[in-house]
Structure 1
Amino acid sequence: MRLTMVGTGYVGLVTGVCFAATGNEVVCLDLDQRKIDILKQGGCPIYEPGLTELMEKNVEAGRLAFTTDQEAAYRDAQMIFICVGTPTAKNGETDMSFVWGAADAIGRAIKALGPNQEPKVVVVKSTVPVGTTHAVQERIRRIVGHLPFSVADNPEFLKEGAAINDFMKPDRVVCGVEDDRTAALMQEVYEPFVRQGHPIYIMDIRSAEMVKYASNNFLATKISFINEMANLCEAYGADIARVREGMCADKRIGNQFLYPGLGYGGSCFPKDTLACIQMGNQSRVHTQLSQAVHDVNQRQRVLFFKKIEQHFAKEGGLKNKTLAFWGMAFKPHTDDIREAPAVSLMTLARSAGARVRGFDPVAADNVERENPGQFEISDGLYETLRGADALVISTDWDEFKSPDFAKMKALMASPVIFDGRNLYKTGAMERAGFAYYSVGRAPVIPAMVS
């Protein structure tokens, strides 16, 4: 099948590459010439394990191409997937400008092709408020008149760091359609990915749009819930690790997305939770739980920073202290720093007068590009610690899990760790001679360190 991806961001590029891998002819369209130049030269504008290699393989096979030419990208496409960004605006609402721009361009392309064309299927894959796909349909219809086309909604469920596997072996595929022909085409293009028995759910468009928001809002709720429980554990002397073990043994609860820490970040959970709140405001539905999930999440990083402030209060505060940060991406195996707790904490520390130094295996360039000159970026794990008054662990990369504690202690000005991901056992930290603060567990306080 001939497919066009509109947008070469995270969703568009992963989707296009994976569709090409099953034999489809895929064109990835983007108006950003810099991105297209990088892709044509064999580079990849995002970090995602396995993506570059799979992309190169399909380019070499002639199944994958990149362009800024809208007319060429749309002309022969049987299905057009809108995969553009829908960022959150400053007022908390979803910015739909890229979606509307794509819809208008597709409408003009369909109009130019005239009445003898094969009807194109315009698939909205971007995460959009309920009702958007029909708005796209109406927008195109105003341009093309009676020329044939159809629309569908096809939400993505990709985890950054595991996106290739998620696409190739999905838990489910959700397709919102209005007619049998579109449903058949959606089933045809996704059939290679569900041969292990995972379902393709064909449903109405508005329900498909809502599935994505309901899913992400629920996962965000689990994260905020376990963090609230962790805060209660700290207040009452319980251990969240033991509490979690006992709680998650209940099969009704399970253990996914129930890890205490600094809260969720990235491009999905924050944006989608706010979108549910926005949809509630617009429809006069009081989304009290969604608002609480968001508030708890934002407060979590502030509460963690207070631990840092309280530790250094007896030394006159953070002014002129050096804080080393391990991890700056919002999660491991990605270079995405959108809504990253680490960046929030680094910004708070810098505002308090601290010198901030950070290390991340893949996200360092993005941090420097988005925050030029604000933070010192280190090239090495241990080099980051040299002369540091404390280490803050903000992303749970594998290489942070079994470090050389003796080497760390020798490099640091003072042996203090603030662990926002609960990577280490408190007993081991006490034996190693560190002051150690984590989430939902009793701290190894300085007075206890030998």
Structure 2
Amino acid sequence: HCSQLILKKSTNQYIDVEIKEEMKADEPVLSQKGKVLVKEEVEFNEELSLRQNYEIPVKEENEVYAEALLKQDAEIQVKEETGEHLIRHHRTHTEEKPHQCNQCDTIFSLKSSLIIHQRIHTGKKPYQCKQCDMTFLQNNDLTRHQRTHTGEKPYQCKQCDKSFSRNASLVLHQRTHTGDKPYQCNQCDKTFAINYNLINHQRTHTGEKPYQCNQCDKVFTQKGSLITHQRTHTGEKPYQCKQCDKSFTRKTGLLLHQRTHTGEKPYQCNLCDKTFAKNNYLISHQKTHTGEKPYQCKQCDKVFRHKGSLIIHQRTHTGEKPYQCKQCDKTFAQTCNLIKHQRTHTGEKPIQCNQCDKTFTQNSDLIKHQRTHTGEKPYQCNQCDKTFAVNCSLTNHQRTHTGEKPYQCNQCDKVFTQRGSLIIHQRVSCIKLEK
């Protein structure tokens, strides 16, 4: 054995660090007090990777192990603060990894990393939180966990006010400022700021869906998608709005909902001044500028701006109406139509005009009503200059040009351009004829 004085930067003091030479296979191992250690004691010390041998008082085995692990990590920290960081840096150039786990093939550049890794095999977690029962392999894992109790976020972004509990989270956040995307797909040109997102993306090439629901046959590319899906079985909605009673299965659903309270619309169109609460609303709006309709029905020639609109349209071919009212037998192709229908049972009219006291069951009725205040008539006849506040009024008017009369009385041969005219006729003329 020999010693070397090394300057410890954190305290500006010299400390005595023991340098130990390689032992020969047949060389006896001595403790600090000169006692010859038996094979089991040597193995125990090797497992802990202690550079010098300690004599530990007789205690419960778990206490001894935990205490030794704590002491071991303290040693590792001292060595890293003194000389081991130089070794680590040197191996980043050489890519040398001399320390191999004897239970698996994993190799490490530092012995301290091997020690921490070996706890995965032994199951030892010596660091316990004082506020809850959670235990951890490493002290820094415990430190990070404790911040969930204290709310401490010591890592702050220098470019904005955001702060984080972990340095790694700060590094990822800073890429939103720099635009740095270091992870590139080897099958296409896409790059990602986070390695996890690259892994998920690569599954679009391989078709791999490793996460399967244990209650149905659905499979998913991401674990988060599986967890969210499972809530459709359990009915769990863990994300609740603090300003109202609404709860959501996904955190993103809650965040989007909260904008209805705050009025926040962070997504702005670069071709006009319109802003939107959701990014998909912005994307949909931008197609009104470009005229793009990328979704085409395979059964007819109709095209749509949104995939959701195509799905709803396809139900006109299939006749599918998956949304059923719980109070009657009526079914609907769209969930919005079910919601509107349910208000006929409840009498609810949640949409109110901000210029008068009138209320409505649906937003489209409010929009039509507001034109009585503004005088707006956005629907113009293409054969004359007449304009209309409501589209159905334009449709009825155009029949005066075409001569179309689609509404026929089932009691006589009379036909009408408007349904309302047919109803009036049936109430008056046909009743008189019957008498």
Normalising by structure 2, what TM-score? 0.16
Query: TM-score under structure 1 normalisation?
Result: 0.16
* Structure with larger Rg: 2
